[in-house]
Structure 1
Amino acid sequence: MLINKQEVHFRLIGEFNAYNLLAVYGTALCLKEDSEKTLTVLSGITGAEGRFDYIISKNQVIGIVDYAHTPDALENVLTTLIKLKKNFQQIITVVGCGGDRDKTKRPIMAQAACDLSNKAIFTSDNPRSENPMDILADMENGLTTAAKKKYVAIPDRRQAIEKAVKMANTGDIILVAGKGHEKYQEINGVKYPFDDKQVLREMFAKFE
Protein backbone atom coordinates (compact mmCIF):
# COMPACT_ATOMS: atom_id res chain seq x y z
CA MET A 1 0.00 0.00 0.00
CA LEU A 2 1.35 3.44 -0.94
CA ILE A 3 0.89 6.28 1.54
CA ASN A 4 2.41 9.62 0.61
CA LYS A 5 4.54 7.79 -2.00
CA GLN A 6 5.95 5.50 0.67
CA GLU A 7 5.32 1.75 0.37
CA VAL A 8 3.99 0.24 3.59
CA HIS A 9 2.92 -3.32 4.37
CA PHE A 10 0.11 -3.92 6.84
CA ARG A 11 -1.07 -7.09 8.57
CA LEU A 12 -4.72 -6.12 8.25
CA ILE A 13 -6.73 -7.27 5.23
CA GLY A 14 -9.60 -5.65 3.37
CA GLU A 15 -10.72 -2.32 1.99
CA PHE A 16 -12.50 -1.36 5.21
CA ASN A 17 -9.22 -1.79 7.14
CA ALA A 18 -7.43 0.37 4.56
CA TYR A 19 -9.92 3.16 5.24
CA ASN A 20 -9.44 2.77 8.99
CA LEU A 21 -5.65 2.85 8.70
CA LEU A 22 -5.76 5.98 6.52
CA ALA A 23 -8.10 7.66 9.00
CA VAL A 24 -5.72 6.93 11.88
CA TYR A 25 -2.72 8.09 9.84
CA GLY A 26 -4.45 11.32 8.89
CA THR A 27 -5.47 11.98 12.49
CA ALA A 28 -1.91 11.36 13.67
CA LEU A 29 -0.53 13.89 11.19
CA CYS A 30 -3.13 16.45 12.33
CA LEU A 31 -1.82 15.88 15.87
CA LYS A 32 1.72 16.62 14.62
CA GLU A 33 2.94 13.04 15.01
CA ASP A 34 5.92 11.92 12.94
CA SER A 35 4.81 10.36 9.64
CA GLU A 36 7.41 7.54 9.50
CA LYS A 37 6.95 6.60 13.14
CA THR A 38 3.17 6.51 12.69
CA LEU A 39 3.43 4.21 9.67
CA THR A 40 5.82 1.93 11.54
CA VAL A 41 3.37 1.57 14.42
CA LEU A 42 0.41 1.01 12.10
CA SER A 43 2.28 -1.67 10.14
CA GLY A 44 2.54 -3.75 13.31
CA ILE A 45 -1.14 -3.70 14.22
CA THR A 46 -2.92 -7.05 14.18
CA GLY A 47 -6.64 -7.53 13.70
CA ALA A 48 -9.17 -7.90 16.49
CA GLU A 49 -10.11 -11.46 17.39
CA GLY A 50 -13.12 -12.56 15.38
CA ARG A 51 -12.85 -9.78 12.81
CA PHE A 52 -11.58 -11.16 9.51
CA ASP A 53 -9.67 -13.59 11.69
CA TYR A 54 -8.06 -16.22 9.46
CA ILE A 55 -6.19 -19.52 9.55
CA ILE A 56 -4.80 -21.57 6.66
CA SER A 57 -4.86 -25.36 6.46
CA LYS A 58 -1.91 -27.47 5.30
CA ASN A 59 -3.57 -27.86 1.89
CA GLN A 60 -4.00 -24.08 1.65
CA VAL A 61 -7.72 -23.79 2.38
CA ILE A 62 -8.29 -20.38 3.95
CA GLY A 63 -10.68 -20.27 6.90
CA ILE A 64 -12.01 -16.88 7.98
CA VAL A 65 -14.03 -16.23 11.14
CA ASP A 66 -15.93 -12.95 11.24
CA TYR A 67 -18.49 -11.40 13.57
CA ALA A 68 -20.68 -10.28 10.65
CA HIS A 69 -24.24 -10.84 11.86
CA THR A 70 -26.16 -8.21 9.88
CA PRO A 71 -26.87 -8.08 6.13
CA ASP A 72 -24.61 -5.06 5.62
CA ALA A 73 -21.70 -6.58 7.54
CA LEU A 74 -22.00 -9.90 5.73
CA GLU A 75 -22.11 -8.18 2.34
CA ASN A 76 -19.04 -6.11 3.21
CA VAL A 77 -16.99 -9.15 4.21
CA LEU A 78 -18.02 -11.16 1.16
CA THR A 79 -17.42 -8.23 -1.19
CA THR A 80 -13.93 -7.88 0.26
CA LEU A 81 -13.26 -11.59 -0.29
CA ILE A 82 -14.45 -11.36 -3.90
CA LYS A 83 -11.97 -8.53 -4.52
CA LEU A 84 -9.11 -10.47 -2.91
CA LYS A 85 -9.67 -13.95 -4.28
CA LYS A 86 -8.16 -15.45 -7.40
CA ASN A 87 -10.34 -16.82 -10.19
CA PHE A 88 -9.91 -20.47 -9.23
CA GLN A 89 -10.90 -19.91 -5.59
CA GLN A 90 -14.42 -20.67 -4.38
CA ILE A 91 -16.04 -18.89 -1.46
CA ILE A 92 -18.00 -21.18 0.86
CA THR A 93 -20.03 -19.31 3.47
CA VAL A 94 -21.31 -20.80 6.72
CA VAL A 95 -23.90 -18.48 8.24
CA GLY A 96 -26.83 -18.45 10.63
CA CYS A 97 -29.10 -15.90 12.30
CA GLY A 98 -29.58 -15.34 16.01
CA GLY A 99 -32.77 -16.35 17.76
CA ASP A 100 -35.04 -13.82 19.52
CA ARG A 101 -33.70 -11.09 17.26
CA ASP A 102 -34.86 -9.20 14.16
CA LYS A 103 -36.47 -11.82 11.92
CA THR A 104 -36.69 -9.54 8.89
CA LYS A 105 -32.95 -9.69 8.28
CA ARG A 106 -32.88 -13.50 8.03
CA PRO A 107 -33.90 -13.89 4.37
CA ILE A 108 -31.76 -10.87 3.44
CA MET A 109 -28.65 -12.44 4.96
CA ALA A 110 -29.44 -15.78 3.35
CA GLN A 111 -29.83 -14.19 -0.07
CA ALA A 112 -26.60 -12.21 0.35
CA ALA A 113 -24.70 -15.37 1.31
CA CYS A 114 -25.96 -17.12 -1.83
CA ASP A 115 -25.45 -14.15 -4.14
CA LEU A 116 -21.88 -13.46 -3.04
CA SER A 117 -20.64 -17.02 -2.44
CA ASN A 118 -20.14 -20.03 -4.66
CA LYS A 119 -21.76 -22.21 -2.00
CA ALA A 120 -23.60 -21.43 1.23
CA ILE A 121 -24.39 -23.48 4.31
CA PHE A 122 -27.18 -22.19 6.55
CA THR A 123 -26.82 -23.22 10.18
CA SER A 124 -27.50 -22.21 13.78
CA ASP A 125 -25.98 -19.11 15.31
CA ASN A 126 -27.24 -18.48 18.85
CA PRO A 127 -30.81 -19.82 18.59
CA ARG A 128 -31.56 -18.79 22.18
CA SER A 129 -35.20 -19.72 22.91
CA GLU A 130 -36.17 -20.31 19.27
CA ASN A 131 -36.26 -23.61 17.42
CA PRO A 132 -33.24 -23.62 15.05
CA MET A 133 -35.39 -25.17 12.32
CA ASP A 134 -37.77 -22.19 12.47
CA ILE A 135 -34.84 -19.81 12.06
CA LEU A 136 -33.58 -21.76 9.06
CA ALA A 137 -37.07 -21.71 7.55
CA ASP A 138 -37.11 -17.91 7.90
CA MET A 139 -33.73 -17.71 6.17
CA GLU A 140 -34.91 -19.89 3.30
CA ASN A 141 -38.17 -17.99 2.85
CA GLY A 142 -38.09 -15.84 -0.27
CA LEU A 143 -34.82 -17.06 -1.74
CA THR A 144 -34.56 -16.72 -5.48
CA THR A 145 -34.54 -19.85 -7.63
CA ALA A 146 -30.83 -19.39 -8.31
CA ALA A 147 -30.05 -19.02 -4.62
CA LYS A 148 -31.92 -22.20 -3.74
CA LYS A 149 -29.46 -24.16 -5.90
CA LYS A 150 -26.43 -22.85 -3.98
CA TYR A 151 -27.15 -23.71 -0.35
CA VAL A 152 -27.68 -26.56 2.07
CA ALA A 153 -29.13 -26.30 5.58
CA ILE A 154 -27.33 -28.04 8.45
CA PRO A 155 -28.71 -27.03 11.88
CA ASP A 156 -25.72 -28.31 13.88
CA ARG A 157 -23.02 -25.63 13.61
CA ARG A 158 -20.11 -28.05 14.09
CA GLN A 159 -21.46 -30.30 11.34
CA ALA A 160 -21.97 -27.26 9.10
CA ILE A 161 -18.33 -26.22 9.48
CA GLU A 162 -17.25 -29.81 8.88
CA LYS A 163 -19.31 -29.90 5.68
CA ALA A 164 -17.69 -26.68 4.47
CA VAL A 165 -14.21 -28.11 4.99
CA LYS A 166 -15.19 -31.30 3.14
CA MET A 167 -16.50 -29.23 0.23
CA ALA A 168 -13.40 -27.06 -0.05
CA ASN A 169 -10.65 -27.62 -2.59
CA THR A 170 -7.07 -26.39 -2.38
CA GLY A 171 -7.01 -22.59 -2.12
CA ASP A 172 -10.73 -22.17 -1.47
CA ILE A 173 -12.01 -19.71 1.13
CA ILE A 174 -14.38 -20.70 3.93
CA LEU A 175 -16.14 -17.84 5.71
CA VAL A 176 -17.73 -18.72 9.05
CA ALA A 177 -19.86 -15.70 9.87
CA GLY A 178 -21.93 -14.46 12.77
CA LYS A 179 -20.18 -15.29 16.02
CA GLY A 180 -16.60 -14.10 15.60
CA HIS A 181 -14.83 -13.89 18.95
CA GLU A 182 -17.65 -15.55 20.92
CA LYS A 183 -16.63 -18.74 22.70
CA TYR A 184 -20.14 -20.08 23.25
CA GLN A 185 -23.41 -20.97 21.58
CA GLU A 186 -26.57 -19.99 23.46
CA ILE A 187 -29.35 -22.58 23.30
CA ASN A 188 -32.45 -22.36 25.52
CA GLY A 189 -30.78 -20.10 28.06
CA VAL A 190 -27.60 -22.18 28.33
CA LYS A 191 -24.25 -21.04 26.91
CA TYR A 192 -22.43 -24.10 25.61
CA PRO A 193 -18.70 -23.87 24.79
CA PHE A 194 -18.23 -23.23 21.07
CA ASP A 195 -15.39 -21.50 19.26
CA ASP A 196 -15.71 -21.16 15.47
CA LYS A 197 -11.97 -20.77 14.97
CA GLN A 198 -11.14 -23.78 17.11
CA VAL A 199 -13.70 -25.92 15.31
CA LEU A 200 -12.20 -24.84 11.98
CA ARG A 201 -8.76 -25.90 13.23
CA GLU A 202 -10.12 -29.27 14.31
CA MET A 203 -11.79 -29.87 10.96
CA PHE A 204 -8.72 -28.80 9.01
CA ALA A 205 -6.66 -31.29 11.03
CA LYS A 206 -9.28 -34.00 10.58
CA PHE A 207 -9.28 -33.82 6.78
CA GLU A 208 -5.63 -33.02 6.06
Structure 2
Amino acid sequence: FRPLDDEARRAAREKFGVATHAPLVVGVSRLVPRKGFDVAIRAVAQVAKQAKRAGNHQLADITMLIGGTGRDHDRLRRLIDETKAPVRLLGRVSDADLPLLYGCADAFMMLCRNRWGGLEQEGFGIVFAEAAACAVPQIAGDSGGAAEAVVDGVTGHVIRTPDDVDAVAQRLEHLLSDPAAHRAMAMASRARAVAEFDYSVLVARLRAALAA
Protein backbone atom coordinates (compact mmCIF):
# COMPACT_ATOMS: atom_id res chain seq x y z
CA PHE A 1 0.00 0.00 0.00
CA ARG A 2 1.50 3.30 -1.14
CA PRO A 3 0.33 6.64 -2.56
CA LEU A 4 -0.58 6.77 -6.25
CA ASP A 5 0.96 9.29 -8.61
CA ASP A 6 -1.37 11.52 -10.63
CA GLU A 7 -1.50 9.22 -13.64
CA ALA A 8 -2.20 6.11 -11.57
CA ARG A 9 -4.81 8.00 -9.57
CA ARG A 10 -6.65 9.05 -12.74
CA ALA A 11 -6.53 5.49 -14.06
CA ALA A 12 -7.86 4.11 -10.77
CA ARG A 13 -10.73 6.57 -10.75
CA GLU A 14 -11.57 5.67 -14.32
CA LYS A 15 -11.57 2.00 -13.32
CA PHE A 16 -14.06 2.66 -10.53
CA GLY A 17 -16.15 5.08 -12.57
CA VAL A 18 -15.39 8.23 -10.58
CA ALA A 19 -14.75 11.65 -12.11
CA THR A 20 -11.23 13.00 -11.67
CA HIS A 21 -12.42 16.17 -9.93
CA ALA A 22 -15.03 14.60 -7.62
CA PRO A 23 -14.29 14.45 -3.88
CA LEU A 24 -14.10 10.71 -3.23
CA VAL A 25 -14.73 9.00 0.09
CA VAL A 26 -13.99 5.29 0.41
CA GLY A 27 -14.98 2.68 2.98
CA VAL A 28 -13.88 -0.96 3.08
CA SER A 29 -15.14 -3.59 5.50
CA ARG A 30 -17.60 -6.35 6.18
CA LEU A 31 -21.05 -4.86 5.85
CA VAL A 32 -22.40 -5.26 9.37
CA PRO A 33 -24.19 -2.70 11.58
CA ARG A 34 -21.17 -2.14 13.86
CA LYS A 35 -19.18 -0.59 11.00
CA GLY A 36 -21.51 2.43 10.80
CA PHE A 37 -21.94 2.68 7.05
CA ASP A 38 -25.56 3.72 7.53
CA VAL A 39 -24.34 6.90 9.21
CA ALA A 40 -21.69 7.37 6.52
CA ILE A 41 -24.35 7.16 3.81
CA ARG A 42 -26.55 9.72 5.56
CA ALA A 43 -23.59 12.04 6.15
CA VAL A 44 -22.47 11.94 2.52
CA ALA A 45 -26.04 12.58 1.39
CA GLN A 46 -26.20 15.58 3.73
CA VAL A 47 -22.90 17.03 2.53
CA ALA A 48 -24.00 16.69 -1.10
CA LYS A 49 -27.40 18.33 -0.49
CA GLN A 50 -25.97 21.21 1.52
CA ALA A 51 -23.28 21.81 -1.10
CA LYS A 52 -25.85 21.97 -3.88
CA ARG A 53 -27.97 24.46 -1.92
CA ALA A 54 -24.90 26.61 -1.26
CA GLY A 55 -23.72 26.44 -4.87
CA ASN A 56 -20.53 24.64 -3.86
CA HIS A 57 -20.02 22.78 -7.11
CA GLN A 58 -16.95 20.90 -5.94
CA LEU A 59 -18.52 19.30 -2.87
CA ALA A 60 -21.80 18.82 -4.71
CA ASP A 61 -20.05 16.11 -6.73
CA ILE A 62 -18.98 14.13 -3.65
CA THR A 63 -19.04 10.37 -4.15
CA MET A 64 -18.59 7.45 -1.77
CA LEU A 65 -17.57 3.92 -2.71
CA ILE A 66 -18.02 1.12 -0.18
CA GLY A 67 -16.18 -2.15 -0.72
CA GLY A 68 -17.16 -5.35 1.04
CA THR A 69 -19.96 -7.83 1.52
CA GLY A 70 -22.12 -8.80 4.46
CA ARG A 71 -25.56 -9.10 5.97
CA ASP A 72 -26.11 -5.33 6.04
CA HIS A 73 -25.93 -5.02 2.25
CA ASP A 74 -29.65 -4.94 1.52
CA ARG A 75 -30.40 -2.45 4.30
CA LEU A 76 -27.63 -0.14 3.08
CA ARG A 77 -28.87 -0.47 -0.50
CA ARG A 78 -32.35 0.64 0.58
CA LEU A 79 -30.91 3.52 2.58
CA ILE A 80 -28.94 4.74 -0.43
CA ASP A 81 -32.14 4.71 -2.49
CA GLU A 82 -34.16 6.46 0.24
CA THR A 83 -31.63 9.24 0.84
CA LYS A 84 -30.55 9.52 -2.82
CA ALA A 85 -27.01 9.45 -1.49
CA PRO A 86 -24.17 9.52 -4.07
CA VAL A 87 -22.90 6.19 -2.74
CA ARG A 88 -22.16 2.91 -4.52
CA LEU A 89 -21.72 -0.52 -3.02
CA LEU A 90 -18.89 -2.29 -4.86
CA GLY A 91 -19.18 -5.75 -3.33
CA ARG A 92 -15.95 -7.65 -2.79
CA VAL A 93 -12.84 -5.77 -3.89
CA SER A 94 -9.94 -7.95 -5.03
CA ASP A 95 -6.56 -7.79 -3.31
CA ALA A 96 -5.10 -6.36 -6.51
CA ASP A 97 -7.68 -3.57 -6.69
CA LEU A 98 -7.73 -2.66 -3.01
CA PRO A 99 -4.62 -0.41 -3.08
CA LEU A 100 -6.08 1.34 -6.13
CA LEU A 101 -9.36 1.97 -4.33
CA TYR A 102 -7.61 3.45 -1.33
CA GLY A 103 -5.13 5.37 -3.43
CA CYS A 104 -7.65 7.24 -5.56
CA ALA A 105 -9.65 8.42 -2.52
CA ASP A 106 -9.60 11.79 -0.77
CA ALA A 107 -10.78 10.32 2.53
CA PHE A 108 -11.39 6.94 4.12
CA MET A 109 -14.39 6.66 6.41
CA MET A 110 -15.64 3.88 8.66
CA LEU A 111 -17.75 5.01 11.59
CA CYS A 112 -17.30 1.95 13.77
CA ARG A 113 -19.35 2.00 16.94
CA ASN A 114 -19.92 -0.03 20.08
CA ARG A 115 -22.92 -2.34 20.31
CA TRP A 116 -24.42 -4.53 22.99
CA GLY A 117 -23.20 -2.32 25.80
CA GLY A 118 -19.63 -2.37 24.51
CA LEU A 119 -19.42 -6.14 24.17
CA GLU A 120 -19.12 -5.66 20.41
CA GLN A 121 -16.57 -3.06 19.32
CA GLU A 122 -13.81 -2.42 16.81
CA GLY A 123 -10.45 -4.17 17.16
CA PHE A 124 -7.55 -2.18 15.75
CA GLY A 125 -9.02 -1.52 12.32
CA ILE A 126 -6.28 -2.46 9.86
CA VAL A 127 -8.19 -0.67 7.09
CA PHE A 128 -7.24 2.64 8.69
CA ALA A 129 -3.55 1.71 8.52
CA GLU A 130 -3.93 0.63 4.89
CA ALA A 131 -5.56 3.94 3.99
CA ALA A 132 -2.86 5.82 5.88
CA ALA A 133 -0.16 3.98 3.94
CA CYS A 134 -1.78 5.33 0.78
CA ALA A 135 -1.64 8.88 2.23
CA VAL A 136 -5.40 9.08 2.64
CA PRO A 137 -6.77 10.82 5.78
CA GLN A 138 -9.23 8.76 7.80
CA ILE A 139 -12.48 9.39 9.66
CA ALA A 140 -13.25 6.79 12.31
CA GLY A 141 -15.86 6.21 14.97
CA ASP A 142 -14.60 6.06 18.54
CA SER A 143 -14.87 2.32 19.13
CA GLY A 144 -12.23 -0.03 20.50
CA GLY A 145 -8.86 0.34 18.83
CA ALA A 146 -10.01 2.73 16.10
CA ALA A 147 -8.95 5.68 18.24
CA GLU A 148 -5.42 4.23 18.23
CA ALA A 149 -5.43 3.48 14.51
CA VAL A 150 -6.33 7.11 13.73
CA VAL A 151 -4.57 9.99 15.48
CA ASP A 152 -7.34 12.53 15.99
CA GLY A 153 -6.51 15.86 14.38
CA VAL A 154 -3.26 14.52 12.91
CA THR A 155 -3.96 11.64 10.51
CA GLY A 156 -7.71 12.23 10.44
CA HIS A 157 -10.66 12.58 12.77
CA VAL A 158 -12.08 10.31 15.46
CA ILE A 159 -15.80 10.97 15.93
CA ARG A 160 -16.68 10.56 19.60
CA THR A 161 -20.38 10.20 18.77
CA PRO A 162 -20.30 8.09 15.59
CA ASP A 163 -24.10 7.91 15.36
CA ASP A 164 -24.30 11.71 15.03
CA VAL A 165 -24.85 12.35 11.32
CA ASP A 166 -24.43 16.12 11.69
CA ALA A 167 -21.08 15.74 13.47
CA VAL A 168 -19.81 13.34 10.82
CA ALA A 169 -20.99 15.54 7.95
CA GLN A 170 -19.32 18.58 9.51
CA ARG A 171 -15.97 16.82 9.89
CA LEU A 172 -16.15 15.36 6.40
CA GLU A 173 -17.02 18.71 4.83
CA HIS A 174 -14.17 20.42 6.65
CA LEU A 175 -11.66 17.77 5.62
CA LEU A 176 -12.63 17.98 1.96
CA SER A 177 -12.84 21.80 1.91
CA ASP A 178 -9.47 22.66 3.46
CA PRO A 179 -6.65 21.70 1.06
CA ALA A 180 -3.87 22.65 3.48
CA ALA A 181 -5.30 20.61 6.36
CA HIS A 182 -6.01 17.70 4.02
CA ARG A 183 -2.46 17.75 2.67
CA ALA A 184 -1.00 17.83 6.19
CA MET A 185 -3.14 14.88 7.29
CA ALA A 186 -2.25 12.93 4.16
CA MET A 187 1.48 13.43 4.76
CA ALA A 188 1.15 12.60 8.47
CA SER A 189 -0.81 9.46 7.62
CA ARG A 190 1.84 8.16 5.27
CA ALA A 191 4.67 9.03 7.65
CA ARG A 192 3.00 7.23 10.55
CA ALA A 193 2.20 4.17 8.46
CA VAL A 194 5.84 3.84 7.40
CA ALA A 195 7.20 4.53 10.88
CA GLU A 196 4.85 2.29 12.84
CA PHE A 197 3.20 -0.26 10.56
CA ASP A 198 5.81 -1.18 7.95
CA TYR A 199 6.56 -4.92 7.99
CA SER A 200 10.22 -4.30 8.79
CA VAL A 201 9.22 -2.27 11.85
CA LEU A 202 6.77 -4.93 13.02
CA VAL A 203 9.33 -7.70 12.53
CA ALA A 204 11.89 -5.77 14.59
CA ARG A 205 9.35 -5.28 17.38
CA LEU A 206 8.45 -8.96 17.36
CA ARG A 207 12.11 -9.99 17.54
CA ALA A 208 12.68 -7.61 20.43
CA ALA A 209 9.66 -8.98 22.27
CA LEU A 210 10.76 -12.59 21.75
CA ALA A 211 14.27 -11.79 22.91
CA ALA A 212 13.11 -10.03 26.08
More helix by share: 2
Q: TM-score, normalised by structure 2?
A: 0.31
Higher strand share: 1
Q: TM-score, normalised by structure 1?
A: 0.31
Structure number with greater Rg is: 1
